[in-house]
Amino acid sequence: MPAPLWHWQYFQTRPHNLKPPGDRDHYNGGIYANTWCRTCITSCTSVMEQEDRKALEDGVISKVRPQTKLLRQALLFVRPISGRREAFEAHIRSCERIPPEAKDRLASERMRTHSLTPDSGNRSEASPHPALAIIYNSLSKQQQDEFNSDLCKLLIANGFAWHAINAPETYRFFQKWLPGATLPDRHKLSGPILRTQLEAANTSMHNAISGRLATGMSDGWKNVRRNALIASMLSV
């Protein structure tokens, strides 16, 4: 039996007394268990406890919620990740709360792995990709938002299906070449991220035609799934 991953000291599964009926607490219904970052859970419960104590002092509530209830609520607020090595490492790189020794150990392991790869020195000289010191840094919020925006445009421009973002090969590709980015799932990509792009497109169009004469054309049809679609074009 292989040794347990060292990553587990920074992550936890749902306690048995809080498990849902049927014990099917698996990430996206797959084979890996839902797991949570211990530091994120601790931070969330601490914030809620402080809010309860403040509400108790103000006379809004009669008592502070017990730790079990706080933990149950934190498990709802904090987004779970898949209980596998790749997901652990992606979270360790991006999480701002996780202890720095976890990031240091992960970076050390990755550097050691690359140093053991044959001819790694020759390839690094000719490689057009960013240096490891840059590629392993977590993206800032602004960079992550820009990454999400460009990723959404990429899928639309190439006609890729939204569920392609959840494919294992897609996940492995981004974890290999851009591990500092958090890959959004298809629901987020086709939901709030897409809506943000639509709002930006509408604003851009409004600014482009404001105060000018424009000719508009539109057409509507239904696809094979009987979804109503509309295409529009403006000439200024």
Nearest Cα residue to 9 out of 39, 52, 51, 48: 39
Pair 25, 14: CB distance under 8 Å = yes
| 2 pLDDT above the threshold of 80 | no
- The whole-number pLDDT of residue 225 equals 74
| 184 pLDDT above the threshold of 80 | yes
Pair 116, 61: CB distance under 8 Å = no
- The whole-number pLDDT of residue 40 equals 95
Q: pLDDT tens digits for 90-128? A: 999 999 999 999 999 998 888 876 555 454 444 444 444
User: Domain residues of the chain, as ranges?
Assistant: 6-112, 141-211
Q: Residue 70 and residue 78: Cα distance in Å, rounded?
A: 12
Pair 43, 97: CB distance under 8 Å = yes
Q: Which two tokens stand for residue 90?
A: 């992606």
Nearest Cα residue to 36 out of 83, 69, 4: 83
Q: Residue 109 and residue 106: Cα distance in Å, rounded?
A: 5
Q: pLDDT tens digits for 127-158? A: 444 433 333 456 788 888 899 999 999 999 88
